[in-house]
Amino acid sequence: MKRVLMGKLLLVFTVSLFLLGTVAVRAHAAQDKILLGAAISMTGKFAREGGELKGGYDFWRDWVNGRGGMDVGGKKYKVEIIYYDDKSDTMTAAKLTEKLITEDKVNFLLAPYSSGIAFATSAIAERYGYITIAGAANSDALYERGYKYLFSLLPPASHDFNATADLLSRQKPAPKTVAILALDSLLTILSTDGLRNHIKTLGLQEVYYTKFPAKTTDFSAMLTVIKAKNPDLVFFGGYFEDSVPFLKQCKELNVNAKAFAFLTAPQFEDWVKILGKDGDYAFSVMYWARAMNWKGPYFDVKSFADTFQKQTGTPMRLYHAQGAAGCVLLQIAIEKAGTLNQAKVRDVLSKMDVTTFWGPFKADEKGKNIKGRIAILQVQHGKTVSVDPADPGAKVWYPTPPWDKR
């Protein structure tokens, strides 16, 4: 008797839950809102990058709502975003992504920061048939899993350093030898592995290669070995927290090269601020620079930066643009599809060949952006300028003078 009663109760409970879910989904539609969700790093090691990405999402939401919302099949929908803090932790991000899909019932997902975290969240999204436009995750391995709903805004990471090597190999006096250092992480290893293959085609000789573990802050031992090898070019595949002590210690130990090229960091204001004049001559790569001068349907490079500053009251930073660019791409696809159906929007994305303020986008069958471009930056007089494509009047500073002659 008791069992029958429990069974009935369970049935009533399940039906109620189902009805509640239906009502909730209908409520979104009835309110003419599109609900987006993002599990993003607000604290932890990626708080800075995640915070900027979120700033880009917020900007786009306010901007699109200010225009009356997104046009889907002739009807305007306002945009709302639910945020959760993934604490820069992969497992937390995966759980929160599932929560956004199954509990919050968001219409679309916005991507997290970093390839490592996107690796986990895109797997969840794929399982539920949700699109991920990764604005800040371009590790090649992400796109080698046969996923149908994952797209990259950026070009593949394995090409990151190649353009810098091309540029430097054309300089006079021509460099002959290269030292490569790689942080032992998914993205940096990909970039440096790509570079190691690429320099062979340029006739450059690799005289030193090493991986270094995460959280390394003392490079003095490694630099002593590099100094003995005396390479013409030093490529450093690491992040902000690695590259500052690395360059400081290059100066301390008087390690010179014709060029020091970094994967990322010199484009950040605080990198230049911390290193001052010592940061001059450093090369870096960026997926976006004002000199690229891309023009899109809603913004061009300049108008985006201006609108961002005007709307938010803060100067635009790189990840702001990256975040907003991912949203703009999603917006174009949704508006073109004229529906909120994930599969139909995905089909549009996979065929789309478009240029936004961020640059060209054309996905291959794996979701990699095969038209994505890279700009090469150099720190000159304490400011980061684009040298390829070149800002007006900008020229490559090469070779880098020795530390005692700067």
Contact (Cβ atoms closer than 8 angstroms) between residue 180 and residue 192: yes
Ranges of beta strands (E only) in 238-373 are 259-262, 283-286, 353-356, 359-362
* Choice from 33, 48, 290, 344 touching other proteins (CB under 8 A): 48
* Choice from 16, 22, 43, 341 touching other proteins (CB under 8 A): 43
* Choice from 101, 134, 187, 275 touching other proteins (CB under 8 A): 275
What count of residues does the chain have? 406
Tell me if 205 contacts other proteins by CB under 8 A: no
Can you give the C-alpha Rg of the chain in angstroms? Answer: 24
Tell me if 382 contacts other proteins by CB under 8 A: no
Tell me if 240 contacts other proteins by CB under 8 A: yes
Contact (Cβ atoms closer than 8 angstroms) between residue 349 and residue 367: no
The secondary structure of 171-189 as a DSSP string is SSSPP-EEEEEEESSHHHH
Nearest distance in Å: CB 165, other proteins: 22
Contact (Cβ atoms closer than 8 angstroms) between residue 210 and residue 246: no
- Interface stretch with other proteins, choices 92-100, 218-226, 323-331, 370-378 (CB under 8 A): 218-226
* Choice from 103, 144, 252, 306 touching other proteins (CB under 8 A): 252
Site string for other proteins, 146-185 (x = CB under 8 A): -----------------------------------x--x-
Nearest distance in Å: CB 236, other proteins: 12
Tell me if 196 contacts other proteins by CB under 8 A: no
How many other CB atoms are there within 10 angstroms of residue 173's CB atom? 9
What would you measure as the largest C-alpha separation in the chain, in angstroms? Answer: 92
- Interface stretch with other proteins, choices 172-180, 211-219, 342-350, 382-390 (CB under 8 A): 211-219
Tell me if 224 contacts other proteins by CB under 8 A: yes
Q: How far apart are CA 261 and CA 150, in angstroms?
A: 30
Nearest distance in Å: CB 346, other proteins: 34
* Choice from 113, 143, 212, 281 touching other proteins (CB under 8 A): 212
Q: How far apart are CA 109 and CA 327, in angstroms?
A: 10
Q: Strand, helix or coil at 92?
A: helix
Site for other proteins in 281-340 (CB under 8 A): none
CA 145 to chain centre: 19
Contact (Cβ atoms closer than 8 angstroms) between residue 136 and residue 122: no
Tell me if 389 contacts other proteins by CB under 8 A: no
51 versus 399: smaller Cβ distance to other proteins: 51
Residue 363's φ and ψ, nearest 5 degrees, are: -90, 140
Tell me if 44 contacts other proteins by CB under 8 A: yes
103 versus 252: smaller Cβ distance to other proteins: 252
246 versus 358: smaller Cβ distance to other proteins: 246
Q: How far apart are CA 283 and CA 160, in angstroms?
A: 12
- Interface stretch with other proteins, choices 4-12, 60-68, 271-279, 304-312 (CB under 8 A): 271-279
* Choice from 79, 100, 137, 222 touching other proteins (CB under 8 A): 222
Q: How many residues sit in the footprint of other proteins (CB under 8 A)?
A: 38
How many other CB atoms are there within 10 angstroms of residue 402's CB atom? 11
* Choice from 225, 306, 341, 402 touching other proteins (CB under 8 A): 225
CA 153 to chain centre: 8
* Choice from 123, 202, 207, 253 touching other proteins (CB under 8 A): 253
3-state SS string for 321-360: HHHHHHHHHHHHHHHHHCCCCHHHHHHHHHHCEEEECCEE
CA 219 to chain centre: 27
Judged by the rule CB under 8 A, the positions of this chain that interact with other proteins are: 43-45, 47-48, 51, 181, 184, 210-213, 215-218, 220-222, 224-225, 228, 240-241, 244-245, 248, 251-254, 270-271, 274-276, 278, 403
